[in-house]
Structures are given as C-alpha cells and as structure tokens.
Structure 1
C-alpha cells in the first residue's frame, strides 16, 4: 500500500519541507503580498503509481532524473514540453538561474538522457516556458522552439527579457535563430505559445507587468510573427484599456473593479485553440480574455470570464477541450486568507465557450487541498497548470503532485487519479499516449508510463 499511496502524514511533511526552501518571488510581485515558491527535496524511498480509476490504471513512475549541473551549478525545473520523442525542460531561478532549456532523449522513457542545453546565453535570466512545433514557412522549415526569457534583476546591465527562437530539428544540436526583446525595463516574457496558420508562424507572448514598467509603452500581450525566426516582428498588442468596462479604472496594473475591490491585472499566460483561431489570455483578475486571431493582423476581442465579488481571480493558465467549446481555467491563489474573499487556495473553473461573448460557468473543480487552509502554506496547495488529452484533464499541483480529472461531462468533473511523489513540488505536466511527464522543482524530470504487465 505504501508503495502506491503517499500517506497523509508523509504528504503534510513534504509540504512543510517544500515551503522551507525558498525559490523565486511569486508571479504577482506587485500585489500586496510578496511570497516565495519553494522546492521539494527529492527522494528515492517511494516509486509511486498514478493511482486512480478508468484509463489511468497501470501508469507507473519509470524514471526520475535530476537535471545535470551546469558550470558547477544545480538549477531547478520550470515547465516541461515534449515533441518527437524529446522532452524540453525549462529551468527556474535556483542558484542564480541561467540554467537554460534542458533536452532529454526519451527513446527509452525509463532512462531519459540529457543531450543538450540551449537558451542560456543571456546573463541573469531564467527560462520558464518552451514550446516546440514543426513549422513550414518560406523562411524556415523544421522544428522551431520558442523559449520565454525573464530577468532575475532588471538592474543587471547585461540581462534582458523576451523570446528566444531556436532550430531544434536536430535536438542534440540546437541552433539559435533569433531573439525578440520585450523592453529592458520590463521583467521579460513569462509564458508563451507557438502557433501556426497556413504558411505563417506566430509566438504569443505573455510579458507580465510590461505595461506597468514601461508606463504603457509596451503591453503585457504581444502577437509576434516568427515566420522568419531570424527576424521576429510584433504585429499586435492587447491593451485592457480598450475594454469599455476597464478603460477609466485601470492604471497599468491595478483595476478599480465594479465590485469595489482593487484587483491586480496583468497577462500571466497565453495559448490558442488547435487551429490557432482563438487566443486565450490569462489576465489574472480580469479573467481569461478571448481574442479572435483568425486574421492575425487584425485581432478582435470576443469576451472574457468573470468572478464573483468574493473570488480572487488569479487566472493563471488555460486549456481548451471538446473541440474548443470548453475552457479550463486554473487560478493560482496562493494567499487564501484575504479580507473580503473566500478562504480557499486556487481551484479550477470550467466554462462552456460556444458563445465566447458569454462564457457560461459549468463547474468548479476542487482537489482535497484547496480548502485545507494552513498558516504559512502558500503555493503548495494551489492548482498550477492544466493539460487536456481527450476527456482527461491533467493538473500540476505543486506539493499535490499531478491530479487527473475526468471531464467527459464538464459539468461534473471527477478526480480519477493522482501521482504524488514523496516531497513533490510539481511545476508542469505534459501528457500524450506514450508517457506522462512532470517537472519536479526539487528532483527534476519524472516520467510515467503505462505497464502492460499484469498488476
């Protein structure tokens, strides 16, 4: 039993350990609370299974690989992505950042081999997100990697944030193609997405606080044409002031909302639907903003999600399901006790978005963690990133590991599995038919695979 389930006493101990070792300043650095992310400590004591029901039976952890030291420095992980049998792992800020993107060969998923490092050439930065896709334009044909770059210290004269573009057609030998700079005054690009439309390729960049730090000269969301990766070109920026309901009450970061609350507003993350016709901007307390980008040179605002007066917004990330008719919105509420708001960590909301001008809330999905409010525990109990494969929603949940949710009926989401390695602090999750990947801030890359052997 112990090999399959992490006992509650061990789990609570992992929470404490994870939160004792500080990482980087929280995303919401301009808000009234400044806290730090922790990293869990790795352990080889338990090799857990993705416990659950339905289609998750038989998924086991087959590998747990720490990142290799770089120049004598041990970095910790950020997000994870997979493409054509290789895993791409971003790095966070531990020991001064500059860990770049780590490439793992997954030919043998039980023995991932770190084969390359790239995106580490800008001093004083870290690389949270990497997306890799096959791109075919008149200027580039191959596998393109887009990497978000953020400054650790904006006063460092040698650092700058933005988006690095690499040719990873040969993942063992990545080649730099270009760089898109946000603005030296802004922290950089936190999350991004790479999309294709016909013979054009685009990066959608969430450069949180760019509006604030540049006094409105740059915006938090940029749509960048990277059809020629050596010459990325900004073709559109979104300004919340263009929304009539926000225009008169927005000062570049804080919004004096109609409910009487002063709410933080910045673009944290962005992604598109499968055909890159709709962009989803996670705009914290302004909700998930939806833009029609079917004509990328002339995007149009469609609608946004909203919150009850007693809900912290904290729209962190998004995914779509059911052919783009359902929106999954994760909310990174790391300070569960705020006057005037419900006492809860971040949980997931699911919307019907057939009419994007009028999103309809179908359900709230809460794990067993979000209502267990504990003094001193911040990020450990909130939800983080979502991924959807078919009718299964995978959620990275920091110390709560990975949670799998059946969304066959989005109005009644049901947890069907959980993977909680000892002392886990899971940042990102990526799932496909061959494996499930999880990036653990303390102990590196975790690989789960389905065993065909009888239980």
Structure 2
C-alpha cells in the first residue's frame, strides 16, 4: 500500500502502542477465572439475567467496510489556490475562502489546550492525524512535539501552521496551514487546510477536524465503576500491568521525561497500594509488556527480548536472564499453560514460542513468522486451546495451529481495509468460538468474529466509540469484556450475546491536566488492564499511573 502519510500514526503505534491482551494464572493462590472465559464461556451463562436474551449461536455475517470509511469533507471552507500553483507564501489567511463559515462560530475559543487533529485531502480517503498542543503561557505551540511555524488561536480565530518531514519517495519538508471555520460542538473545530512545500508550491488541500480530548457522549466520570485508589508511577510512560501474589507489576517505556522500567506495588490492600521497588536496567528502558507464571515474571523489552525475573519474593524481583539472547525488540508477551509467547514486530516480525513448564528456565521451541508481511508485523497474540490467534497489524488477524510446536501451520486469517490489528481475546459462547479483535489507529474499533472455522472467520458484531480514539487492550472474563480504550477510559461490555455487545459500565480516566511529555497523545490514558479475579480491576493510565477500580 502506497500510503506514506498514513505511516505517521502507524510508526508511532510501534513506539507507544501495545500491551498484551490480559489473562493468566495467579501463582500461590486459587486460580482466578481465565481471561478467555471459562472453557465454555457461553453455554451456561450466555445472557446476563437483565439482558433479556440467551444467544443460540446464530448470527448474520456482516459486511466489513474496513477502518477507512468514506468521509465527507469536514468543512465547506476551502484553500482557493489549486494544487500545482506556486505562491509567495501559503500562510496568508486571505487564501482561505471562509465566506460560508458561521458568524461567531469561533468566539470564546481558548488560546491554550490540546487538540487531536485529523485532516483529509480532497484527493484521498485516508485521514492523517497529530496532536496540537498550545501552552497556557502563550508560548509556541507544538504538533507532535514539533514547534509550530506560526499560530493565531483564541477568541474568534483558529489559524496555525506546522511542518513535517515527508520521507517518501525522497525526504522533503512540507508545510501544513490550518484555518478554522465552524464549531459543531464546543470542543471541536472544523475547517480547511493546505499542504505546501517550503518554497510555496501547493501540493494538497482539504478539510480537517480538531477535537479537544474530554469525556464523550455527555458522560460523567463513571457509571457502574468506582475508583478505589490511584497511585503515581515513578517511571516515564507506564503502559502495562500484571497482578499476582498480592503485587502489581507495572512496566513503562522511556520518553523525553525519563526512563522506563518496572514498578512493584503491594496491593494486598487495594485501597492503599504500597510501592515496594523500582527496577531499571541501564540502556534498556523500553519495557512494554508483563506476564507472570509461578515464580517467574516475564517482561517484553524493546532492547533485550524477553527478560525473566524471579518473584519468589514478590516484592523484590531478581534478574535471571534475557531471552532468546542478543538484541531483539519484543513488544508483548502472553502465557497460556506451559507456553510463553513473545511478539516481536517489524523488522524481525516473529512470534517466539517458549516452553515454560519450568517457569524460570524458558526453552525456545519455535519462531513463528508470516512470509512477505507488510508494514507493522506481529503485535499481540492470544492462545486458546491449540490455536494461537495473532494480531498481525497490517496483515490482519491470523490463527495458527500450535498443537505441535515443530509443525506450526496457519489455519486462516481475517483481513480488512486499512487494518492495524492490535489486541484480542477469545472464548466459547453457545458452542461457537468467538474472538474479540481490537484495531488501533483512526476509525479502529472492536470487531466480534466467529472463528469456529478459522479458515472462514466471519464478522458478526461491532462496538465503536469516537473515531478519533481506538482500543488498546482488552480482557475477557466469562461474559464480560473489559477494555482499556485510551482517551475513552475503561469500558465494560456484556458480550453474552456476542453479535450485540452491550456497554454496562465505564470509567473516564482522562483528566484535563496536560502531561509533561511532547509528541502525540493519540496513545494516551487508559492503556493497560488486568482483571485477576480478586474483585478489582487494575488499570494503567499513561498520565495518572495505577488506578484500581471496583464494579458497583
């Protein structure tokens, strides 16, 4: 796919996106419900008492338009010069025809804050996005960390310019000029834009929408969930969590504010977590996923593959080794039974399969790969029975038979337009094997797939919120699906009737307190989630840290 501009967000997702789909056994205590649901998650308990319906396994196959939806222009205003024209400057407001813009639409607009900007060229269906930040002290704003060329934003005006490096086919800079026109809702500005070379040659033009992050649908902070405790994480960018032995293990990646690593909390009293230890390894600060089995904690490292820690004393993890040896970017980890899977994205793009029957001494069994994969590579995976379901980003959702680790074979895949398959969970409902697949990037959402026959996966249901934000992670416990939905916070769905997921609770983790970091905020807020079976929901928010919730 020749979509160079799309790679702006795709590349960022490999940097910041990706915690493992959650599940696992709790060493030393009676095992909680596994996140894939019970061995038959739908036969006996499908249909909550208030759902008014028990699913019989039947479902219509739905058409899937993909994650690129034909989008009407966001605004009627326009940049008047046509592509190919050369101008003295593209940053003259008079070049934008805003005669049809509603009078006073931008009155009262604040001069500071953050916006998620999505722009759409007249010649392409592909939206491109970035985060616009305008400081409260009146200083120079930024787009994904790059200083703006100019800005005139405030009461009555939304006009600014930025630049980006276009890498294909040869590296060159482009200027983007944005002019606001309308305000369809208080936190959204729509308008038009132009893309020009620094010399003034017009390359593209189109429309845009800019949304200030906040709670959607007129919601309050929470419904059906309450906050039990909140703990800051003393690491740069916290992304994932695993809970076992009365302790929560939070991993983080490094950014401009500091280094990543591991923070260990005693959570035997969830209302009062106690930070017991912080662990960082020199030169190895990209820790993106965590999982545990027995006395072993496995960490996905962007530099060292899978790092093994001994948690015999859960408050004091001890380094054991890094696997499989040498430098390797492992993005996520997943354990089921006696197998550990480590997912390594592009450029290696492989799933490492280990035997962890001896938890502290993993043995590499196989490296699973898909030939001729496109950009992105493997991201996450979920094992269910003898099948490994892999989120293979731009290649879609792929099922592998892993019953014989020496003869792994592909069983089938589900692909959709502009895919960035990111996380998943699988269970059995009414005798059918059902997968919940979450995409990432613009317009991504939850797909409900019947994967009973992996060679013929079918779309049978959907769940989506605002198109600006996407799902990061999910946990399936019985007939409830718990989702970490970035700026949409935590969402709890009743999936007892899989074709019709029904939201039953939520908690908006977003707060209007801008973080210190620069760059995109697309991959922010509710990012990691675990439901270990102790009656609490453990959430990692990139800005707030460790949140412990309870269902009401």
Per the alignment, in what secondary structure is the counterpart of residue 357 of structure 1?
helix
What is the CA deviation profile of residues 129-173 of structure 1, one whole-angstrom value per residue up to 9, with x for unaligned ones? 000122xxxxxxxx21110001xxxxxxxxx33000112122112
1:147-186 superposed matches below 5 A = 147-150=299-302, 160-181=303-324, 184=327
| Structure 2: runs of 5 or more not aligned | 1-108, 118-130, 134-141, 146-165, 169-211, 214-219, 512-523
1:17-28 superposed matches below 5 A = 20=133
Per the alignment, in what secondary structure is the counterpart of residue 109 of structure 1?
coil
Provide the TM-score with structure 1 as the length reference.
Answer: 0.67
2:445–2:471: 8 Å Cα contact kept in structure 1? Answer: yes
Residues 108 and 229 of structure 1: CA distance in aligned 2, closer, same or farther (over 3 Å): closer
Take 1:445 and 1:406, find their aligned partners in 2: how far apart are those partners?
24
Residues 382 and 422 of structure 1: CA distance in aligned 2, closer, same or farther (over 3 Å): closer
Query: 448, 452, 455: which is aligned to 2:549?
Result: 448
Larger radius of gyration: 2
1:234 aligns with 2:377: no
Q: How far does residue 266 in structure 1 lie from its aligned partner after superposition? A: 0.6
Which residue of 1 is the match for residue 471 of structure 2? 383
Per the alignment, in what secondary structure is the counterpart of residue 456 of structure 2?
coil
Take 2:282 and 2:426, find their aligned partners in 1: how far apart are those partners?
33
Take 2:242 and 2:504, find their aligned partners in 1: how far apart are those partners?
23
Q: How far does residue 386 in structure 1 lie from its aligned partner after superposition? A: 1.3
Q: How far does residue 230 in structure 1 lie from its aligned partner after superposition? A: 6.0
Residues 420 and 355 of structure 1: CA distance in aligned 2, closer, same or farther (over 3 Å): same
1:128–1:149: 8 Å Cα contact kept in structure 2? Answer: yes
Which residue of 2 is the match for residue 342 of structure 1? none
1:97–1:125: 8 Å Cα contact kept in structure 2? Answer: no
Residues 231 and 331 of structure 1: CA distance in aligned 2, closer, same or farther (over 3 Å): same
Alignment length, in residue pairs?
Answer: 340
1:179–1:230: 8 Å Cα contact kept in structure 2? Answer: no
Q: How far does residue 395 in structure 1 lie from its aligned partner after superposition? A: 1.3
Q: How far does residue 226 in structure 1 lie from its aligned partner after superposition? A: 3.7
Q: How far does residue 401 in structure 1 lie from its aligned partner after superposition? A: 0.7
Which residue of 2 is the match for residue 125 of structure 1? 285
Provide the TM-score with structure 2 as the length reference.
Answer: 0.56
Structure scoring higher RCO (CA < 8 A, sep ≥ 6) equals 2
1:96–1:124: 8 Å Cα contact kept in structure 2? Answer: no
Residues 301 and 107 of structure 1: CA distance in aligned 2, closer, same or farther (over 3 Å): same
> Which one has a larger percent helix, Structure 1 or Structure 2?
1
Which residue of 2 is the match for residue 409 of structure 1? 497
Take 1:232 and 1:86, find their aligned partners in 2: how far apart are those partners?
22
| Structure 1: runs of 5 or more not aligned | 1-8, 25-29, 33-39, 42-47, 52-56, 69-73, 135-142, 151-159, 212-218, 242-249, 255-263, 337-344, 374-380
Which residue of 2 is the match for residue 189 of structure 1? 330
Residues 229 and 432 of structure 1: CA distance in aligned 2, closer, same or farther (over 3 Å): closer
Q: How far does residue 347 in structure 1 lie from its aligned partner after superposition? A: 0.4
Which residue of 1 is the match for residue 7 of structure 2? none
Per the alignment, in what secondary structure is the counterpart of residue 411 of structure 1?
coil
Which residue of 2 is the match for residue 83 of structure 1? 244
Which residue of 1 is the match for residue 80 of structure 2? none
Which residue of 1 is the match for residue 451 of structure 2? 353
Query: 219, 226, 229: which is aligned to 1:60?
Result: 226
What is the CA deviation profile of residues 170-221 of structure 1, one whole-angstrom value per residue up to 9, with x for unaligned ones? 211212222114653x5x101111232xxxx33211111133xxxxxxx522
Residues 412 and 31 of structure 1: CA distance in aligned 2, closer, same or farther (over 3 Å): farther
Which residue of 1 is the match for residue 217 of structure 2? none
Per the alignment, in what secondary structure is the counterpart of residue 418 of structure 2?
coil
Take 1:422 and 1:287, find their aligned partners in 2: how far apart are those partners?
30
Give the CA RMSD over aligned residues. 3.3
Which residue of 2 is the match for residue 286 of structure 1? 395
